[in-house]
Chain A
Amino acid sequence: MLLRHTTAAVAERSALTVNPAKTCQPIGAMYAALGLNGCLPHSHGSQGCCAYHRSTLTRHYKEPVMAGTSSFTEGASVFGGQANLVQAINNMFTIYEPEVIAVHTTCLSETIGDDLPQIISKARDDGKIPARKFVIHANTPSYVGTHVTGYANMAKAMVDYFAEKNGVRSRAVNIVPGFVEPSDMAEIRRIAGEMGITPILFPDTSNVLNGPLTGKFAMYPEGGVTVSELTRSGSSKATVALGRLAAGPAARAMDVKCKVPCHILDLPVGLKKTDEFVDVLRQLAGVQVPDSLEVERGQLLDVISDMHQYLHGVKVGIVGDPDQLIALTDFLVSVDMIPVHIVTGTPGKKFEKRIREIVKDVPHRVNVSAGGDMFLFHQWVKNEPVDLMIGNTYLKYIARDEDIPLLRYGFPILDRVGHSYFPTVGYRGGIRLLEKILDALLDRKDRDSPESGFELVM
Chain B
Amino acid sequence: MSQIEVLKDRKSQIHLKGSEPFEMTCDRHSLSGSVSQRACVFCGSRVVLYPIADALHLVHGPIGCAAYTWDIRGALSSGPELHRMSFSTDLQETDVIYGGEKRLYAALTQLIDQYQPKAAFIYATCIVGIIGDDVAAVCSRVSREKGIPVLPVHSEGFKGTKKDGYRAACDAMFKLVGREDTADVSPFSINILGEFNIGGEAWIIRKYYEKMGVQVVSVMTGDGRVGEIGRSHGAALNVVQCSGAMTSLAEMMQKEYGIPFIRVSYFGLEDTAKALYDVARRFPDNPEILTRTMDLVKNEIRAIEPDLKEYRKDLEGKRAAIYVGGAFKAFSLIRALKTLGMEVVLAGSQTGTDEDYRILEQMCDEGTVILDDANPVELSKYVIEKDADLFIGGVKERPIAYKLGVGFCDHNHERKIPLAGFIGMYNFAKEVHSTVTSPVWKFAHRRRRV
A residues engaging B (CB < 8 A)? 1-5, 7, 11, 13-20, 22-27, 40, 42, 45-56, 58-59, 62-74, 76-77, 84-85, 87-92, 94-96, 106-108, 111-112, 141-144, 146, 211, 213-219, 345, 375, 394, 397
Instruction: Give chain B residues whose Cβ lies under 8 Å from the Cβ of A23.
Output: 63-64, 67-68
Instruction: Give chain B residues whose Cβ lies under 8 Å from the Cβ of A144.
Output: 92-93
Instruction: Give chain A residues whose Cβ lies under 8 Å from the Cβ of B421.
Output: none
Instruction: Give chain A residues whose Cβ lies under 8 Å from the Cβ of B415.
Output: none
> For the complex, what is the distance from the CA of A50 to the CA of B70, rounded to whole Å?
17
Determine if A91 and B130 form an interchain contact, defined as CB atoms under 8 angstroms apart: no
Q: Given contacts A48-B40, A64-B399, A77-B158, are A24 and B63 in contact (CB under 8 A)?
A: yes
Q: Given contacts A46-B40, A67-B35, are A142 and B86 in contact (CB under 8 A)?
A: no
> For the complex, what is the distance from the CA of A336 to the CA of B93, rounded to whole Å?
41
> For the complex, what is the distance from the CA of A156 to the CA of B446, rounded to whole Å?
39
> For the complex, what is the distance from the CA of A50 to the CA of B37, rounded to whole Å?
9
> For the complex, what is the distance from the CA of A89 to the CA of B442, rounded to whole Å?
40
Determine if B158 and A72 form an interchain contact, defined as CB atoms under 8 angstroms apart: yes
Q: Which of B108-116, B213-221, B227-235, B356-364 contacts A (4 or more CB under 8 A)?
A: B108-116
Question: Which of chain B's residues has its CB closest to A14's CB?
Answer: B106
Cβ of B292 < 8 Å from any Cβ of A? Answer: no
Question: Which of chain B's residues has its CB closest to A150's CB?
Answer: B64
**What range describes how many residues of B lie at the interface?**
35 or more
> For the complex, what is the distance from the CA of A15 to the CA of B405, rounded to whole Å?
48
Determine if A217 and B33 form an interchain contact, defined as CB atoms under 8 angstroms apart: no
Say how far B217's CB is from chain A's closest CB, in angstroms. Answer: 27
Instruction: Give chain B residues whose Cβ lies under 8 Å from the Cβ of A69.
Output: 30, 32-36
Instruction: Give chain A residues whose Cβ lies under 8 Å from the Cβ of B32.
Output: 68-71, 84-85, 87-88, 91
Which of chain B's residues 20-47 have a Cβ closer than 8 Å to chain A? Answer: 29-43
Instruction: Give chain B residues whose Cβ lies under 8 Å from the Cβ of A40.
Output: 35
Q: Given contacts A51-B37, A88-B32, are A64 and B157 in contact (CB under 8 A)?
A: no
Determine if B127 and A49 form an interchain contact, defined as CB atoms under 8 angstroms apart: no
> For the complex, what is the distance from the CA of A70 to the CA of B444, rounded to whole Å?
35
Determine if B87 and A18 form an interchain contact, defined as CB atoms under 8 angstroms apart: yes
Instruction: Give chain B residues whose Cβ lies under 8 Å from the Cβ of A107.
Output: 61-62, 64, 91, 96, 125-127
Question: Which of chain A's residues has its CB closest to B448's CB?
Answer: A215
- Contact flags B399-440 to A (C-beta < 8 A → 1, else 0): 110111100000000000000000000000000000000000
Task: Name the one of B33, B87, B95, B403 contacting A214, with C-beta atoms under 8 angstroms.
Answer: B403
Task: Name the one of A56, A63, A68, A90 contacting B68, with C-beta atoms under 8 angstroms.
Answer: A56
Interface centre among A40, A56, A217, A375 (most CB of B within 10 A): A217
Cβ of B380 < 8 Å from any Cβ of A? Answer: yes
- Contact flags B118-162 to A (C-beta < 8 A → 1, else 0): 000000011101110000000000000000000000000111010
Determine if B126 and A66 form an interchain contact, defined as CB atoms under 8 angstroms apart: no
Q: Given contacts A46-B157, A95-B5, A107-B126, are A55 and B395 in contact (CB under 8 A)?
A: yes
Instruction: Give chain A residues whose Cβ lies under 8 Å from the Cβ of B36.
Output: 47, 50-51, 69, 71
Q: Given contacts A74-B159, A213-B444, A216-B1, are A91 and B66 in contact (CB under 8 A)?
A: no
Determine if B81 and A4 form an interchain contact, defined as CB atoms under 8 angstroms apart: yes
Determine if B33 and A64 form an interchain contact, defined as CB atoms under 8 angstroms apart: no
> For the complex, what is the distance from the CA of A17 to the CA of B61, rounded to whole Å?
11
Question: Which of chain B's residues has its CB closest to A70's CB?
Answer: B32
Question: Which of chain A's residues has its CB closest to B41's CB?
Answer: A48
Say how far B388's CB is from chain A's closest CB, in angstroms. Answer: 13
Task: Name the one of A46, A67, A211 contacting B158, with C-beta atoms under 8 angstroms.
Answer: A46
Interface centre among B33, B62, B66 (most CB of A within 10 A): B33
> For the complex, what is the distance from the CA of A92 to the CA of B91, rounded to whole Å?
32
Instruction: Give chain A residues whose Cβ lies under 8 Å from the Cβ of B92.
Output: 143-144
Task: Name the one of B1, B64, B396 contacting A55, with C-beta atoms under 8 angstroms.
Answer: B396
Determine if A46 and B395 form an interchain contact, defined as CB atoms under 8 angstroms apart: no
Question: Which of chain B's residues has its CB closest to A1's CB?
Answer: B81
Q: Given contacts A16-B107, A107-B62, are A217 and B1 in contact (CB under 8 A)?
A: yes
Listed by A's residue number, 17 A-B pairs whose Cβ atoms lie within 8 Å are: A3-B84, A5-B85, A23-B63, A25-B64, A42-B33, A66-B376, A71-B32, A77-B129, A77-B130, A90-B33, A106-B126, A142-B62, A214-B445, A215-B444, A216-B403, A217-B400, A397-B84
Task: Name the one of A20, A111, A217 contacting B67, with C-beta atoms under 8 angstroms.
Answer: A20
> For the complex, what is the distance from the CA of A76 to the CA of B81, rounded to whole Å?
38
Cβ of B82 < 8 Å from any Cβ of A? Answer: yes
Instruction: Give chain B residues whose Cβ lies under 8 Å from the Cβ of A17.
Output: 63, 66, 87-90
Cβ of B274 < 8 Å from any Cβ of A? Answer: no
> For the complex, what is the distance from the CA of A4 to the CA of B53, rounded to whole Å?
13
Instruction: Give chain B residues whose Cβ lies under 8 Å from the Cβ of A111.
Output: 96, 127, 130-131
Question: Which of chain A's residues has its CB closest to B379's CB?
Answer: A217
Cβ of B298 < 8 Å from any Cβ of A? Answer: no
Cβ of B338 < 8 Å from any Cβ of A? Answer: no
> For the complex, what is the distance from the CA of A218 to the CA of B404, rounded to whole Å?
10
> For the complex, what is the distance from the CA of A82 to the CA of B86, rounded to whole Å?
34
Cβ of B303 < 8 Å from any Cβ of A? Answer: no
Cβ of B386 < 8 Å from any Cβ of A? Answer: no
Interface centre among B6, B65, B89 (most CB of A within 10 A): B65
Determine if B29 and A213 form an interchain contact, defined as CB atoms under 8 angstroms apart: no
Question: Which of chain A's residues has its CB closest to B406's CB?
Answer: A215
Determine if B115 and A5 form an interchain contact, defined as CB atoms under 8 angstroms apart: yes
Task: Name the one of B31, B34, B131, B158 contacting A76, with C-beta atoms under 8 angstroms.
Answer: B158
Determine if A74 and B158 form an interchain contact, defined as CB atoms under 8 angstroms apart: yes
Instruction: Give chain A residues whose Cβ lies under 8 Å from the Cβ of B62.
Output: 24, 107, 141-143
Which 6 A-B pairs have CB atoms at the shortest separation, nearest pair first?
Answer: A48-B40, A24-B64, A88-B33, A215-B446, A91-B33, A215-B445
Say how far B160's CB is from chain A's closest CB, in angstroms. Answer: 8
Instruction: Give chain B residues whose Cβ lies under 8 Å from the Cβ of A63.
Output: 399, 403
Instruction: Give chain B residues whose Cβ lies under 8 Å from the Cβ of A218.
Output: 403
Cβ of B318 < 8 Å from any Cβ of A? Answer: no
Q: Given contacts A107-B62, A111-B96, A111-B131, are A217 and B85 in contact (CB under 8 A)?
A: no
Instruction: Give chain A residues whose Cβ lies under 8 Å from the Cβ of B252.
Output: none
Interface centre among A58, A66, A142, A143 (most CB of B within 10 A): A143
Say how far B142's CB is from chain A's closest CB, in angstroms. Answer: 13
Instruction: Give chain B residues whose Cβ lies under 8 Å from the Cβ of A59.
Output: 395
Instruction: Give chain B residues whose Cβ lies under 8 Å from the Cβ of A74.
Output: 158-159
**Sample of 11 further A-B pairs with CB below 8 A, known A20-B88, A215-B403, A217-B1:** A7-B114, A18-B85, A19-B85, A23-B68, A45-B126, A70-B32, A74-B158, A85-B32, A90-B33, A91-B33, A216-B445
